[in-house]
Amino acid sequence: MADKLAVGIDIGGTKIAAGVVDEDGHVLARLKRETPTTDPLEVIDAIAAITEEFRREHHIRAIGVGAAGFVDATQSTVLFAPHLAWRHEPLRDSVARRTGLPVLVDNDANAAGWAEWRFGAAQNEADLVLITLGTGIGGAIVIDGQPYRGQFGIAGEFGHMQVVPNGNQCECGNQGCWEQYASGRVLTRRARAAATDGTELGKLFLSEAGGAVERIEGHLVTKHAKAGNEEAIQWIADVGDWLGVGIANLAAALDPGMFVIGGGVSDADQLLIGPARAGFSRTLTGRGYRAEARIVRAHLGPEAGLIGAADMARLTARRRRPANPSATARVRAAARKGMSPKPRR
């Protein structure tokens, strides 16, 4: 066991969640910190401090970092993170220098998808798609038991598929993106509108948010839907229907055996999954003449990202030596001058 523990770190826009994870996906110790959002060096400091605290009690083999942003295909650099000050940040090598451990960096949804395939809802499933429903929509693809990241490392950004031409304006700059119709932001938008309009349900939301419309969030809709409020149930069903439409599009492109639904909105469980299955069956190309993928809720909850990042890092550490940033830089410089073969990672 001493050689099989890894640290998983899930870096979101507001918090860093970390844990020591064993080879069976069990989290043995946990820590949380607020995410420094303005200085990349402060995030590296936080990762190093968390790792050092864990190493006082555990023999750590590797570090896996799941980042909420675009990670390049080498799993080393965060190209862009919308909620953090990362722009072409060489996170893997920076953390390796600080800790002296092998480091792997991946998109947080990729890490969660790997965890669900290894230890969660999609065990023994060769091909799967994970869809994470939070404020927006993220995702991950596993094909024949291997994560698929695309040529540039950015596969799985499903939320920005266009499903309604000239539809709602999205924060990405385009219009009609899927996440404008099938994510937590939809529930937040409707709940705040209801509060502004003074509906009975809106008054409940406003009361629970301390009288401030801007503090109303989508989880309040889920709470009242699970308590039986018919209007809230319908709002969840509307999101589920749009979710099913997007899943049908993904099935046409990828044809996986299973879609796993995670993220905070999945707390609505069958109030969401049921309408999603119906929307999927209604929209699927060739319906009635082909097998339909299963649509299930994720099993590992909010710790899926850190579990998956730790597991990928541990498995990768078995296959290669710890990162040596200065040596890697020399090899790459030589390769650019035609003095050596393509550098190995």
84: domain CATH number is 3.30.420.40
Look at residue 124 and tell me whether its pLDDT is greater than 90.
no
Measured between alpha carbons, how far is residue 89 from residues 14, 67, 105, 183 in Å? 18, 11, 11, 28
Is the per-residue pLDDT at 320 higher than 70?
no
142 lies in some domain: yes
Considering the domain architecture, whether residues 213 and 291 belong to the same structural domain is answered as yes
DSSP string covering 18-52, please? Answer: EEEE-TTS-EEEEEEEEPP-S-HHHHHHHHHHHHH
Q: Is 107 helix (H, G, I), strand (E, B) or coil?
A: strand
Tell me whether residue 30 is in a domain.
Answer: yes
Would you say residue 336 lies in a domain? no
- Please tell me whether residue 146 adopts helix, strand or coil conformation: strand
Residue 172 CA: distances (Å) to CA of 159, 179, 250, 291: 10, 11, 20, 34
- Domain check: are 192 and 154 in the same one? yes
Sheet with 87-89: list strands edge to edge: 70-71, 78-80, 87-89
Half-sphere CA count of 216, side-chain side, radius 13 A: 25
Closest of 45, 59, 8, 2 to residue 30, by C-alpha: 8
Same domain membership, residue 42 and residue 136: no
Helix (H) or strand (E) holding 148: strand 146-148
Confidence tier at 318 by pLDDT (50, 70, 90): confident
Q: pTM of the prediction? A: 0.84
Please check whether residues 245 and 307 belong to one and the same domain: no
Residue 270 CA to residue 274 CA, distance in Å, equals 5
pLDDT grade, residue 69 (50/70/90)? Answer: confident
The whole-number pLDDT of residue 3 equals 60
Identify whether residues 259 and 314 lie together within a single domain. no
Lowest mean pLDDT among 146-150, 241-245, 304-308: 146-150
Lowest mean pLDDT among 201-215, 254-268, 290-304, 305-319: 305-319
pLDDT band with cut points at 50, 70 and 90 for residue 14: confident
d(CA 133, CA 232): 17
Give the whole-angstrom CA distance, residue 139 versus residue 243: 13
Shared-domain flag, residues 314 and 209? no
My answer on whether 290 and 230 are in the same domain is yes
In the predicted structure, residue 197 carries a pLDDT above the cut 90? yes
Q: If pLDDT is split at 50, 70 and 90, which confidence band does 235 have?
A: very high
Residue 173 has pLDDT above 90, yes or no: no
Domain residues for the domain of 160 are 124-298
Mean pLDDT, residues 245-257 taken together = 96
Q: At what angle do helices 40-55 and 91-99 cross, to 10 degrees?
A: 40
Mean pLDDT of the region 66-71: 89
Query: Is residue 159 in a domain?
Result: yes
* Mean of pLDDT values over 27-55: 91
Q: Is residue 342 part of a domain?
A: no
- Give the pLDDT confidence of 298-314 residue by residue, as tens digits: 999 999 999 999 999 99
User: Mean pLDDT across the stretch 114-141?
Assistant: 93
Residues 175-191 have a mean pLDDT of: 95
Looking at the fold, whether 60 and 208 belong to one and the same domain comes out as: no
78 and 89 Cβ atoms separated by less than 8 Å: yes
72 Cβ contact list (under 8 Å, min separation 6): 79, 152, 153
Q: What pLDDT is stored for residue 258 in this prediction?
A: 97
CA dist 272 → 224, 248, 280, 307 (Å): 13, 16, 12, 25
Question: Do 307 and 294 belong together in one domain?
Answer: no
> Is residue 31 very low, low, confident or very high in pLDDT (cuts 50, 70, 90)?
very high
Same domain, 180 and 35: no
Do 289 and 140 reside in the same domain of the chain?
Answer: yes
Residue scoring higher pLDDT (277 or 138): 277
Q: What is the mean pLDDT of the chain?
A: 89
- Please give the average per-residue pLDDT across 196-206, as a whole number: 96
**Is there a domain that residue 338 lies in?**
no
pLDDT at 344: 37
In a domain, 137, yes or no: yes
| Count of structural domains, the chain | 2
| Same domain as 129, residue 84 | no
What mean pLDDT comes out for the span 284-289? 92
Percent of residues, the chain, with pLDDT higher than 70: 91
Is the residue at 344 inside a domain? no
